[in-house]
């Protein structure tokens, strides 16, 4: 199944959902057409599975990267750095996720809602540990996710030379200044 999902990522990434074909996916995977139908019953099914798989890969890579970090800001820096690296290696993720909005709106929404929930959990942990301001809400997670998505598009997809560490540090400075707990007892708005 892994070979089929990897081949589907390349096919959908290059050709788009409507132009991609099951036979092209199996050719790329080096498998027989019948093997495809062992795992998936249609092009729509492999596309849905691919979106879920890519979402899980991003979560897994970010999870591994942040496991060693302890502070809220270092966790977010590591998560963004890892996402930028992942997006540079898998540029097709942007086309595939964007097309999911029209091919399968439910899986598109699930991708973003699940990602936002993971970010919100991290933010609330940082709040509980006193590193982030009180009142971390879902909107904070969506804003952070939006920043990460567009930084990935600009610096991992559109740029040939992404310095992921530099971009992650710049974004981290914005976070510290925006939602970090102020020193000297001063809370922001």
Between CA 115 and CA 102 the distance in angstroms is: 19
Secondary structure class of 181 (helix, strand, coil): coil
Q: Domains in the chain and their CATH numbers?
A: 44-182 (1.10.357.10)
4 with 31: CB under 8 angstroms?
A: yes
User: Which structure tokens are listed for 31?
Assistant: 């498998």
pLDDT in tens, 102-149: 999 999 999 999 999 999 999 999 999 999 999 999 999 999 999 999
Residue keyed to tokens 């399968």: 104
Q: What is the DSSP letter of 148?
A: H
Count other Cβ atoms within 10 Å, centred on residue 75: 22
pLDDT in tens, 21-74: 999 999 999 999 999 999 999 999 999 999 999 999 999 998 898 888 789 999
What does the alpha-carbon distance between residue 131 and residue 3 come to, in Å, rounded to a whole number? Answer: 43
């Amino acid at each position: 199944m892994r070979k089929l999902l990897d081949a589907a990522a390349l096919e959908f990434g290059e050709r788009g959902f409507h132009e991609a074909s099951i036979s092209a996916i199996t050719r790329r995977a080096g498998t027989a057409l019948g093997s495809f139908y062992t795992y998936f019953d249609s092009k729509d099914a492999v596309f849905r599975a691919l979106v879920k798989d890519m979402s899980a890969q991003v979560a897994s890579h970010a999870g591994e990267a942040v496991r060693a970090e302890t502070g809220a800001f270092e966790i977010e820096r590591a998560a963004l750095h890892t996402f930028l690296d992942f997006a540079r290696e898998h540029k097709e993720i942007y086309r595939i996720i964007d097309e999911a909005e029209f091919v399968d709106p439910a899986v598109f929404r699930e991708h973003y809602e699940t990602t936002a929930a993971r970010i919100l959990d991290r933010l609330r942990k940082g709040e509980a540990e006193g590193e982030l301001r009180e009142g971390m809400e879902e909107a904070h997670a969506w804003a952070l996710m939006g920043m990460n998505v567009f930084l990935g598009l600009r610096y991992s997809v559109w740029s040939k030379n992404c310095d992921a560490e530099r971009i992650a540090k710049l974004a981290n400075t914005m976070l510290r200044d925006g939602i970090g707990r102020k020193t000297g007892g001063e809370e922001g708005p």
